[in-house]
Amino acid sequence: MLKTQLYLIPCGLSTDTAPEMYLSASTLDIIRKLKVFIVENEKSARAFLKQCAIETPQAELTIFELDKHDPKQNINSFLDPLKNKIPTGLLSEAGCPAVADPGARVVAAAHKANIKVKPLIGPSSILLALMASGLDGQRFCFHGYLPIDRSERIKTLQQLERSAQQRNETQIFIEAPYRNNPMLKDLLSACNNETRLCIASNIDTDEESIRTLRVQEWKKQVPELHKIPVVFLIL
């Protein structure tokens, strides 16, 4: 029998990968027993739960949908099942819940309501990129999305590069897939030629590419990154 907790459920980085390839047997067992879920997208969440061979018929599941575009959405009702002793799962759209993910608001609300939170082990594109980058894994900082405005973005990139140099700290950030190419163009123009840049794309898929080169080397072989998931790291 499951404990009354908010279970943080990782999801695969690729819909083509079976859950058994990245989730432990114990994590799958927990997922299969849950009947209540908080998700970002109901359709994709149901597809994932079907892949996990969930025990409860889909029609009998209770699913709350987060609106990532509405930070003021009232999510307190999502925790009502937990207050009534019903275990609940918070499911990420891709990777780990609450890491560059709107689920962080649910976790914060759970702590406020004195509800125990149980993180389950699964893939994180940010950590996988750092692991494979060859950059410093002792000191690193994740910044999420950088400014959309080009002048502000370039200014931020220069600030991150200075932080990397002064603190010997790997700087990690992401971009909306359709803006990857402009981001890379600004990276190559704003950063010093000797700065190391890791471009980690399509992580955990058959098209995965994780390479670290000096900026001057990337300028000679600029990759096409349009509309694919990418994590950028500099040091």
Chain segment 53-69, per-residue pLDDT in tens: 999 999 999 999 998 88
Chain segment 156-212, per-residue pLDDT in tens: 999 999 999 999 999 999 999 999 999 999 999 999 999 999 999 999 999 999 999
pTM of the full structure: 0.91
Report all structural domains of the chain as residue ranges with CATH numbers, in order of start. Answer: 6-119 (3.40.1010.10), 125-234 (3.30.950.10)
Structure tokens at 195: 């700065």
Smallest CA-to-CA distance from 124 within 159, 100, 154 is with 100
When pLDDT is averaged across residues 62-80 and rounded to a whole number, the result is 91
Q: Alpha-carbon distance 163 to 103, whole Å? A: 29
CB 40 within 8 A of CB 103: yes
- What pLDDT, on the 0 to 100 scale, is given for residue 69? 83
Chain segment 110-142, per-residue pLDDT in tens: 999 999 999 999 999 999 999 999 999 999 999
As a whole number of Å, the CA-based R_g of the chain is 20
- What pLDDT, on the 0 to 100 scale, is given for residue 134? 98
Structure tokens at 51: 């892949």
Smallest CA-to-CA distance from 141 within 121, 166, 120 is with 166
Q: Transcribe 28-39 into DSSP letters.
A: HHHHHH--EEEE
The residues facing 119 across adjacent strands are: 8
Q: Alpha-carbon distance 15 to 78, whole Å? A: 26
